Structure 1
Amino acid sequence: MNKLIFFSLFCWTIGLVSCNNNKQEAAVQQPAATQSDSSAAEQPIKTILFFGNSLTAGYGLESSEAFPALIQERIDSLNMPYKVINAGNSGETSAGGNSRVDWVLRQPVDVFVLELGGNDGLRGIPVAETRKNLQSIIDKVKAKYPEAKIVLAGMQIPPNMGAKYATDFRGLYPELARKNNIMLIPFLLEGVGGEVKLNQRDGIHPTAEGHRILADNVWEVLREVV
């Protein structure tokens, strides 16, 4: 009888110790999970700055319809820690952008998307001048934020100014991308330029539907750097 009581007490003690050990292990493991969740929540927000002309600004549309806003929607849907700033200025040339960029760079920038030059081409500004201005903008970004990633949006123009001018203009974007080792969107208006139904009455500025295609063109490259 005493042996039976002793055996029962022994089993009960073992069970109690095992239960306590399990509770201790759970208590040790729980803070680790909480700490991981906290780290994810405290991940710093980075900035993507779109610097361009009326295409970036979303001329003729609500700001929410312009491609930078659509990029923000995509980023949010993926829970990525980035905020988008639209620094587009309608009518801006590369020279105007070169004068304005110092003011824009007062805020921290992690990704800089440069979309300028289109107005230069439409006005027949010498390609060498456009190249010089775009290079200066790139240099200023690199000097202020050496770790920032730069994406250059390529542009093309109709041969109104002559075939040679159009060819030289188209070539300056891949040339700058190679020289500066930065990412290139081959042609921002791919699938939109020249498509009547995707452009507003002026035939230059994309509709809301056109901007959705622009956002796809941009994301194809931007996703590699965010």
Structure 2
Amino acid sequence: MPGFAVRPVLRWIGQGRKRDLPVAPWDLSFKAVTGLIAAFLVFTFASGAEAATLRIVALGDSLTAGYGIPRTAAFPARLEAALRAKGLDVKVENAGVSGETASQGLARLDWSVPQGTDAVIVELGANDMLRGLDPAVTRKALTEIVQRLRKRGITVLLAGMKAAPNMGRPYREAFDKIFPDIAEAEGVLLYPFFLEGIAGDQALNLPDGLHPTPEGVDRIVSGILPMAEQLVVRARETAAR
């Protein structure tokens, strides 16, 4: 075993003095050797499990992809940096596609969330709302995304969206209920409003008023970070089962 030397000694008395005699490795009992090997292997594998990097996929639209800003300033990269600053060994993959609806996210789910993924942040629905799509269609697609991820043993954080005021009260009420309803029904984590603290703030959005600046992204990360930490804890617990 490289880097793991064992030199037990025997003491004996002769000619009125004590001396230490190294025992050759082959003189060790079989039980002692196997015990040491077992302990070494347990330590090695346990350490490896603890050191494994947690893989998170951010599945979303342009708000995740980082429309109009450098990829290094986009939500996945900034969230990874924030989690690592907390001492958490994670990798956050950017699986955002600009302009995408919840149904389109569902269509690419299997290849966007590969095997080996531990957790997923689902950020979809904004484009459904902006296009005035039937909230029932959005609900169905998001529900299936969450259910399929859970069946794969993947921990989920659902990032909620809220309808714009100009969508009208009936639409807003139907749309805004989608995210808390799914989170409660499926038992997944929920961050109620992905754009909390930046929606409508010109200083934190690009000129289009829809997409966050790098500073806006950092505000999003600051808000969602406690839930993201819970996501990591849950994913670690699931992996340990």
**TM band (smaller chain):** 0.7 to 0.9
Q: Which amino acid aligns with 2:200?
A: G
Query: Is 2:95 the partner of 1:101?
Result: no
- 3-state DSSP of counterpart to 1:224: helix
Query: Is 2:150 the partner of 1:142?
Result: yes
Between 115-124 and 159-168, the greater mean CA deviation after superposition: 159-168
Q: Which of 140, 147, 169 does residue 132 from structure 1 map onto?
A: 140
- 3-state DSSP of counterpart to 2:115: coil
Q: Which of 157, 161, 183 does residue 151 from structure 1 map onto?
A: 157
Contact 1:50 1:88 in 2 (8 A): yes
Shift of 1:157: 2.0
Q: Which amino acid aligns with 2:174?
A: D
Task: Give 2:72's aligned residue.
Answer: 64
Query: Is 2:186 the partner of 1:216?
Result: no
Cα deviation digits, residues 109-130 of structure 1 (max 9, x gap): 1111000000000110011000
Contact 1:48 1:84 in 2 (8 A): yes
Q: 2: distance between equivalents of 1:107 and 1:38?
A: 21
Q: 2: distance between equivalents of 1:80 and 1:36?
A: 21
Task: Give 1:120's aligned residue.
Answer: 128
Task: Give 1:74's aligned residue.
Answer: 82
- 3-state DSSP of counterpart to 1:189: coil
Query: Is 2:136 the partner of 1:164?
Result: no
- 3-state DSSP of counterpart to 2:230: coil
Higher Cα Rg, which structure: 1
Q: How many correspondences in the alignment?
A: 199
**CA 1:47 to 1:223, structure 2 compared with 1: closer, same or farther past 3 Å?**
same
Task: Give 1:199's aligned residue.
Answer: 205
Query: Is 2:174 the partner of 1:174?
Result: no
TM-score (norm 1): 0.80
Q: 2: distance between equivalents of 1:74 and 1:148?
A: 21
If each structure's strand is expressed as a fraction of its own residues, which one has the higher value?
2
Q: 2: distance between equivalents of 1:180 and 1:126?
A: 21
Contact 1:93 1:116 in 2 (8 A): yes
Percent identical residues = 37
Contact 1:97 1:116 in 2 (8 A): yes
Q: Give unpaired runs (5+ residues) of structure 2.
A: 1-15, 21-38, 233-241
Query: Is 2:83 the partner of 1:50?
Result: no
Q: Give unpaired runs (5+ residues) of structure 1.
A: 1-9, 18-31
Contact 1:159 1:165 in 2 (8 A): no
Q: 2: distance between equivalents of 1:47 and 1:106?
A: 10
Contact 2:149 2:155 in 1 (8 A): no
- 3-state DSSP of counterpart to 1:225: helix
Contact 1:117 1:130 in 2 (8 A): yes
RMSD: 2.3
Task: Give 2:24's aligned residue.
Answer: none
